[in-house]
Structure 1
Amino acid sequence: MLEPRPVKLTQPAPPRAVLCFFQDVINRLRRKGRLKVIGRLKSEIGPNPLYILEENGQNLLVAHPGVGAPLSAGFLEEIIALGVNRFIAAGGCGVIDHSINAGHPLILTGAVRDEGVSYHYLPPGREVSASPAAVAALQAALKSAGMPYTLAKAWTTDGIYRETVNRRATRLAEGCQVVEMEAAAFFAVAQFRGVTFGELVYGGDLVVPEGWDSRAWHKRADDRERIFWLAVQACLHL
């Protein structure tokens, strides 16, 4: 009954996009004149700019994907409607595995579907995978940069305050190392629409029975900038 319609742009969208969760990184790039606004997505929280970034002689679309599976999936749909078909997301995650240090890069290979959006796009199932081509592009980018990384499965949940001890234990047994709110929805929308999608995150807060530790994850400016530019390089590989 309702399909996403392309918003008006001042120039055509390039076929590749980096979805950056770090508004601080986006703001710095704007101040440096690296980002040019070509349009805006809209929601009740206000306009969400769509930017062009030129890197190595190529244009990429850059946008904030919103927070939480429903909003992020909706914005992804609207960007796909612009003709974009290759995506890398750059973000952070909670860590449920003690061995993952704060700031450590992780390439998400798949996600346990503990949210609602993915079930509107794919048949019921426990997990959904990232696009293999996007995972390979991310691996190539991190190897080229000499950056250690981990291939990881995410636990995607809608209930950030219902990450209980028993649920964490179950997700660890399923092979999850991190927890976040969007990956399963991203991967499901991408499969449904036939586009390529990968996600790079860094280890953030520690979510363990001994007690939550923020590890000042949101203040790691250098890590956030690094994750963004690694995502850019991976997107250029696609």
Structure 2
Amino acid sequence: MSFAVAKRMQAAVCLILLLCAHAAWADDFKVLDAYTRFAGTPFVNSAADYVAWLRQQPAFRDGKLDGLPERAVILHNTNVRGMLNKLGYADAEIEELSTGYTDPNLLFVVRPKAGAPFIVDRGLPGAGGVATQAAELAALGVKRAIHIGTAGLLGGRLPYASPIIATGSYKDGAAFLLASSPQDAAEQIAFADPVLSDRLDRQMTAAGIAHERALGFTSPIYYFQKIGLLKALLSFPFDHGKAPGFVEMEQASFFATARLAGMTAASVVVGSDRAVRTGDTVRQEFFDGDLDRLLLLALRQAIAALDGPP
């Protein structure tokens, strides 16, 4: 055997061994385990860095991002200005700020003639959207924020047409990635701020609005949800005292991000659909009422709850 042939065979063997090693490493690397394994390590970046860069851009060099309100609502609705108008806020009291360069983030800064100023951030769906928005709001100076959205109700535990104040939500993968310690990573539920949630509860009670308080389950996807998971949530064979009443897409990551950013956070949702056990499967039924009316009601009460001392 010539020396050249021997070298080629040696190279081929080395390549095979290398590929096998990489394949074994890929098999050994468990993504979901890695989500919590590195919980105690430092974070790479922060929203403060992005906001500092944003302030240097031509559109914001005039100080538009300075002195913003410390109260905010993240509202999942396409017609934010229209809703604010329905609540009596004139266009002259509303300023739109587009702060996203790679995402369509849009802030509605409201400085009313009466009452404290506030921000309504047009909600982006899922963990990535809400975590980005919550972190950037905190970096802009927001101290308190309330998330408003829709949810899929689980069975008959909760009624339609009643706002639901979340006590917390079972975590999705993003909320586990946001864990700041091994102890945090071991917790299955991300909790809302109890003081702000209680304030929202009292506000709705004083206004005579029938509402609920419940625990949620955060799923970052809407389509292609697993029937097996929904069946487990509907029967909840674990701790019935901790059974979730609804599924939604943002709460756990919103609460986790707010905690990291030093911002108090609460959330209120309204049921847009319901998962119903039918034989051995699960079907989805839809609410045929006026969702915009319920979201508007929640927005009014959220603004009122934020308009007060810390």
**TM-score of the pair, normalised by structure 1:** 0.89
| 1:22 match | 77
| 2:134 match | 76
State which drifts further: 145-154 or 8-17.
Answer: 8-17
State which drifts further: 118-127 or 164-173.
Answer: 164-173
CA apart distance, 1:45? 4.8
Q: 2:42 matched to 1:2?
A: no
| 2:253 match | 185
Unaligned runs of 5+ in 1: none
Matches within 5 A, 1:1-238: 1-4=44-47, 5-6=50-51, 7=54, 8=60, 10=64, 12-29=67-84, 32-33=90-91, 35-37=93-95, 39-54=97-112, 56-113=114-171, 115-122=172-179, 123-124=184-185, 125-172=187-234, 173=236, 174-210=242-278, 211-216=283-288, 219-237=290-308, 238=310
2:300 aligned partner, one-letter code: W
Matched residues in 1 for 2:213 and 2:219: separation?
19
Q: Equivalent residue of 2:245, what SS?
A: strand
State which drifts further: 164-173 or 139-148.
Answer: 164-173
Matched residues in 2 for 1:14 and 1:3: separation?
20
Q: Equivalent residue of 1:143, what SS?
A: helix
Question: How big is each residue's C-alpha offset from its partner over 1:149-207, in whole Å with a ceiling of 9 and x where there is no partner?
Answer: 11111110123234333312333424100110000001101111221000111122112
Matched residues in 1 for 2:304 and 2:106: separation?
23
Does the CA-based 8 Å contact 2:272-2:291 persist in structure 1? no
Greater RCO, CA 8 A, separation 6+: 1
Q: Equivalent residue of 1:17, what SS?
A: strand
Does the CA-based 8 Å contact 1:21-1:90 persist in structure 2? yes
Q: Equivalent residue of 1:103, what SS?
A: coil
Number of aligned residues: 236
Q: Equivalent residue of 1:29, what SS?
A: helix
Matched residues in 2 for 1:95 and 1:209: separation?
12
Matched residues in 2 for 1:167 and 1:38: separation?
40
Matched residues in 2 for 1:99 and 1:150: separation?
10
> Could you say which structure has the higher helix fraction?
2
**TM-score of the pair, normalised by structure 2:** 0.69
Structure number with larger C-alpha Rg: 2
CA apart distance, 1:21? 1.0
2:153 aligned partner, one-letter code: V
Instruction: Tell me the percent identity.
Output: 22
Unaligned runs of 5+ in 2: 1-43, 55-59, 237-241
